[in-house]
A = this chain, B = another copy of it.
Amino acid sequence: MGDVTQAEAEQDQLLSILRDELYVAVVSDVLDAGGLLEQAMDARLRPLAPGMRLVGRAHTVMTADVYVRPEEPYGPEIEAVDALRPGDVMVASTSRSERTCFWGELLSTAAVARGASGCAIDGHTRDALRIIDMGFPVFATGFRPVDSSSRSMVVGHGSPVEVGGVVVNPGDIIFGDYDGIVVIPPDRLADVVTAAHNKVTSENSSREMLQAGATLRQVYDRYGVL
């Protein structure tokens, strides 16, 4: 499974809290409050199944469309996948290609074997039902049954990429659920987790007061959250 540093171990604890106790919308609100307003990927990336939760460190990769099959089409892709470390989320830009398909079941199997925790693609996947059966969290913009080898090529991994309208740096924290995906700068993670916990408490109080018949005006004046 590779080495895990002390810093990663501490980060992993925070990631567990994201996964088990929080949700993306409340984390997005906390990022907003901290002045980070452009952290949510756009609505085109959707989870393959409603319950999928995507939590981990970004491992970035970028593809470009090609029109002849390269001599070694899979070389850089294999390298990118074999470089995954435990807790990584593959974050892939395809330049929004409607033609290729970046991900599938065998890559998911390889990623699981490396300890990766999910995949977010600004592009298509295939083998979707079998990936759902595996329980591996994949967020994509759609489905295509095709192989990538004659259609696109990995042109780099480990550099910043634009995915869903957000520039993602390697090591950024990725957090996704049914509402979408946010990107958390790693040095903000601890503060974000704390603040999100507090906001959940206020939201619970607001919800109860609304259920008891209060107007939104009364609730907002009291708790200051919507």
Residue positions of A touching B, CB distance < 8 A: 24-25, 27-29, 32, 37, 40, 42-43, 46, 50, 62, 64-68, 74, 77-79, 81-82, 95, 97-98, 104-107, 109-110, 113, 124, 126-129, 141-147, 149-151, 155, 159-162, 167, 177-182, 203, 206-207, 210-211, 213-217, 219-220, 225-226
Task: Report whether over half of chain A's contact residues are helix, strand or loop; otherwise say mixed.
Answer: mixed
- Oligomer: number of copies: 6
Is A67 in contact with B160, judged by CB distance below 8 angstroms?
yes
Is A110 in contact with B28, judged by CB distance below 8 angstroms?
no
Is A144 in contact with B42, judged by CB distance below 8 angstroms?
yes
- List, sorted by A's number, 27 A–B pairs whose CB atoms are closer than 8 Å: A24-B145, A25-B104, A25-B147, A29-B146, A29-B147, A32-B146, A43-B98, A46-B143, A64-B64, A66-B160, A68-B159, A68-B160, A74-B220, A78-B217, A78-B226, A95-B97, A104-B226, A106-B207, A106-B216, A106-B219, A106-B225, A107-B226, A110-B215, A113-B211, A128-B179, A129-B177, A143-B178
Is A43 in contact with B155, judged by CB distance below 8 angstroms?
no
- Given contact pairs A81-B216, A211-B109, A126 touches B159 in the complex (Cβ within 8 A): no
Task: Please provide the 9 A-B residue pairs with the shortest distance between their CB atoms, ordered closest to farther.
Answer: A43-B142, A145-B179, A67-B160, A145-B180, A95-B95, A24-B145, A28-B145, A109-B210, A110-B216
